[in-house]
């Protein structure tokens, strides 16, 4: 089956597969303004760190296009302001700020190196840069899949948490890329997918895209992970992430910490699949990663149906941090990074 495209750039419009409506509806949402992209990121129409980064690139193009009539001397100032606004949509995923900063740098460099360039020329160059970010993500993710494939064997069963597949990226995915690359090479891998409360990305998205692609996938509730590990059903844990700190601590969807602790108890390797733009060498440790807290309604309700008292207090952090000591390896497009992460991450980021 051809995998669904998460993002489509067409006629100066960003079309996003609305992931809040999967798996029952396949609907594309359209954004033509930076405010629209902000809201799509914030409300999780588009989600997953790499996909958010790609969307942010196009969001900056829209920010630039929507001030086409601005005088050139004010163009950069306004674009920077819009970029800072866009960064606040979701603070944990570093790809968002990375893509915004890359687009701003491209605009600044273009204006500095070509003082005669008009606004139309700058817009064209920015659009090309956003398309480049989009295409790079697809190639990066496939290479991550190839690198992950070297760590598993034909017939292995992998447990994954949340959704780090083609729906979370421009294509292939990070954690799920290993299944798609394995298919290309005739290698059989099985998956166990945690449902991933409270937004059920594992149930709604991972189980959906893997089953649609012909991967043997079994869905479990989050609190079943310990049992299936104890029964010897899991050979490896592979998850994506939203930020890697310089010491190797990793922020990923809430529940990842628990999965990693269980895997360590049962001597199961834990692999973090991530593109290098998700590695934040300016963030010393996991303590320094901002953790987004979301509305309590996500826990009080499931599909708009109340499952808890309406006034009960709720704590709803969207992410947790897995300390580096519980991670076997971090798998990037540049290679496989092993402890001591403080040294190996620095080396790979300089390569």
Which residues are tagged catalytic? 242
CA 216, CA 230: separation in Å to the nearest integer? Answer: 20
What sign results for the dihedral spanned by CA atoms 168, 49, 45, 100? Answer: negative
Question: How many Cβ atoms from other residues are within 10 Å of residue 118's Cβ?
Answer: 10
| Alpha helical stretches, state H, the chain | 34-42, 49-65, 72-87, 94-113, 119-149, 177-184, 201, 207-212, 225-230, 256-265, 297-300, 341-350
Distances in Å between the Cα of 265 and the Cα atoms of 89, 209, 230, 239, 286 are 36, 30, 10, 17, 21
**Percentage helix, strand, coil for the chain under 3-state DSSP, each rounded to 5:** 45, 15, 40
């Amino acid at each position: 089956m051809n995998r669904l495209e998460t993002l489509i750039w067409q006629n100066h419009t960003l079309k996003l597969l609305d992931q809040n409506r999967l798996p029952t509806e396949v609907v594309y949402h359209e954004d033509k303004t930076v405010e629209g992209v902000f809201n799509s990121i914030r409300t999780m129409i588009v989600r997953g760190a790499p996909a958010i980064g790609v969307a942010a690139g196009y969001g900056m193009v829209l920010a630039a296009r929507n001030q086409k009539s601005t005088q050139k001397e004010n163009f950069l100032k306004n674009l920077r302001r819009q970029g800072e606004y866009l960064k606040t949509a979701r603070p944990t995923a570093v790809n968002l700020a990375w893509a915004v900063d890359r687009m701003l740098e491209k605009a600044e460099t273009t204006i500095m190196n070509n003082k005669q360039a008009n606004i139309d020329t700058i817009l064209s160059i920015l659009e090309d840069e956003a398309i480049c970010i989009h295409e790079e993500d697809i190639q990066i993710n496939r290479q991550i899949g190839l690198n992950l494939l070297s760590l598993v064997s034909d017939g292995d069963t992998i447990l994954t948490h949340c959704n780090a597949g083609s729906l979370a990226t421009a294509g292939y995915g990070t954690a799920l890329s290993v299944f798609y690359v394995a298919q290309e090479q005739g290698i059989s891998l099985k998956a166990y997918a945690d449902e991933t409360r409270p937004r059920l990305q594992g149930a709604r998205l991972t189980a959906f895209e893997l089953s649609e692609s012909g991967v043997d996938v079994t869905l479990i509730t989050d609190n079943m992970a310990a049992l299936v590990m104890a029964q010897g059903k899991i050979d490896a844990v592979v998850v994506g992430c939203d930020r890697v700190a310089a010491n190797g601590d990793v922020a990923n969807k809430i529940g990842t910490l628990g999965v990693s602790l269980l895997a360590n108890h049962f001597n199961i390797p834990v692999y973090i699949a991530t593109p290098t733009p998700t590695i934040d060498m300016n963030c010393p440790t996991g303590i320094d990663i901002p953790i987004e807290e979301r509305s309590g309604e996500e826990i009080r309700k499931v599909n708009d149906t109340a499952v808890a008292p309406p006034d009960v207090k709720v704590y709803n952090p969207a992410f947790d941090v897995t300390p580096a000591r519980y991670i076997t390896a971090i798998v990037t497009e540049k290679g496989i990074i092993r402890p001591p992460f403080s040294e190996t991450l620095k080396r790979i980021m300089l390569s």
